[in-house]
Amino acid sequence: MKSNRRSFLRLSAFALPFTKMNELFAKAPAANMPLVISTWDSGQIANGGAWPILEKGGKALDAVEQAAIAMENEINCCVGLGGNPDRDGRVTLDACIMDDKFNCGSVAFVERVKHPATLARKLMENTPHVFMAGEGAQQFAVASGMKLESGELSPDAEKAYKEWLKKAEYKPIINIEHQQSKPKGHGPFAPSHFDDGSVNHDTMGTLALDSSGNLSGMCTTSGMGFKMRGRIGDSPIIGSGLYVDNEVGAATGSGQGEEVIRVCGTHTIVELMRNGASPTEACKKTIERIVKINPEKAKSFQVGFIAIAKNGEVGAYSLQKGFNYTVTDKSGKAKVINAKSHFS
């Protein structure tokens, strides 16, 4: 969807002070709402959790939390307690959530909590804090009435871990897609564990625009498979794995967290949109910033971003090909779209 209003804003960028442009953004009606977008084709599961809320005129924040819950419930999928463990064989989860008023909550390195994005929301709503990790976050989960799960690996993760242990190589390369060799008998859309023990992707990011025109987002992950114990990626970091500015837009992503953190990926995307870039242009420019740091190294990992503008325009861009995302708009139908990529 091309926005004439955006072209107008671009032309007027020299004439109008920033604050004035932001006011224009804030007042523009969103043409296409409600709307929910999620990373990957497994975003069909996430959007499926969010849509019943949005369809009834519910809040974007509730919708993205339900998107996370739907993913985290998929035990043989890539996200949540069914994901791959760290090098010590333990699954540690990271998640964050952000609403339309800059309220945000993040949890990292959390074990045995099935719904880390819900925990992040509880942190956001019930404490003065934004970010909690490890044992303290787990204690907060229990104090908030959340149950601790057994901590056992899912059958798929167990198999993948045993396979990984054979070489126990620390090779943190993720998301180079396995489009041709999807294994049988795994989660419906997002196989996370391949027969050679390698992983596809393990993160879900969702952004929603509700029928009141407000934005929220979440990102939930089991992180990079077989990571060093205690390693935390971009996903729970506000401004890296997720950012929402209700005046402008929102962004989230998936991929090699270390590289996203270096450029404050999602905050960068939102700032580029503030300055007139479309969601796709903003994602592309941020990917190019990552490439510029080390063009040779950038060939060996994946990063994919998705973004939504306040007017309901959506877009995405990735480093390697194979990244896709799912959009559910007011038609109620989920559509999987292949993102354009820097390397072909």
Task: Supply the residues annotated as catalytic.
Answer: 203
Stretch (H or E) spanning 67? helix 60-72
Could you tell me the CA-to-CA distances from 235 to 50, 57, 130, 302 in Å, in that order? 19, 28, 14, 14
CB of 195 to ligand SD4, least distance (A): 19
Site string for ligand SD4, 128-167 (x = CB under 6 A): ----------------------------------------
Min separation Cβ 322 and ligand SD4, Å: 12
Cα dihedral 110/114/116/117 (nearest 10)? 170
Give the relative orientation of helices 265-274 and 18-27 as an angle to the nearest 10 degrees. Answer: 90
Report the residue from 92, 216, 221, 278 that binds ligand SD4 according to the rule CB under 6 A: 221
Q: In terms of CB distance, is 95 or 272 closer to ligand SD4?
A: 95
What SS3 class is residue 308?
Answer: strand
Residues numbered 275-304 forming contacts with ligand SD4, rule: CB under 6 A: none
Amino acid at 261: I
**DSSP 8-state class, residue 341:** B
Closer to ligand SD4 at the Cβ: 214 or 235?
Answer: 235
Give the residue, chosen from 206, 254, 286, 326, that forms a contact with ligand SD4 under the rule CB under 6 A: 254
Give the residue with the Cβ less far from ligand SD4, 68 or 174.
Answer: 174
Phi, psi of 35 (to 5 degrees): -155, 140
Structure tokens at 93: 């989860």
Give yes or no for residue 121 binding ligand SD4 (CB under 6 A).
Answer: no
Please give the full DSSP string across 92-150, using - where no structure is assigned. Answer: -EEEEEE-TTS-EEEEEEE-SBS-HHHHHHHHHHHSS-SEEEHHHHHHHHHHTTPPB--
How far apart are CB 173 and ligand SD4 at their closest, in Å? 11
Interface with ligand SD4 (CB under 6 A), residue from 106, 203, 216, 286: 203
234 binds ligand SD4 (CB under 6 A): yes
Encoded one letter per residue, x for contact with ligand SD4 by CB under 6 A and - for no contact, window 168-197 reads ------xx----------------------
Q: Of residues 213, 249, 255, 276, which one binds ligand SD4 by CB under 6 A?
A: 255
Instruction: Give the whole-angstrom CA distance, residue 30 versus residue 21.
Output: 16
If one asks whether residue 82 binds ligand SD4 (CB under 6 A), the answer comes out as no
Q: Smallest gap, in angstroms, from Cβ of residue 306 to ligand SD4?
A: 12
* Distances, alpha carbon 178 to alpha carbons 86, 182, 201, 218, in Å: 21, 6, 10, 25
Kindly compute the dihedral angle of the four CA atoms of residues 298, 220, 50, 189, in this order, to the nearest 10 degrees: 60
Size of the site for ligand SD4 (CB under 6 A): 15
Contacting ligand SD4 (CB under 6 A), which of 86, 202, 271, 329?
A: 202
**Interface contacts to ligand SD4, rule CB under 6 A:** 174-175, 201-203, 221, 223-224, 233-235, 254-257
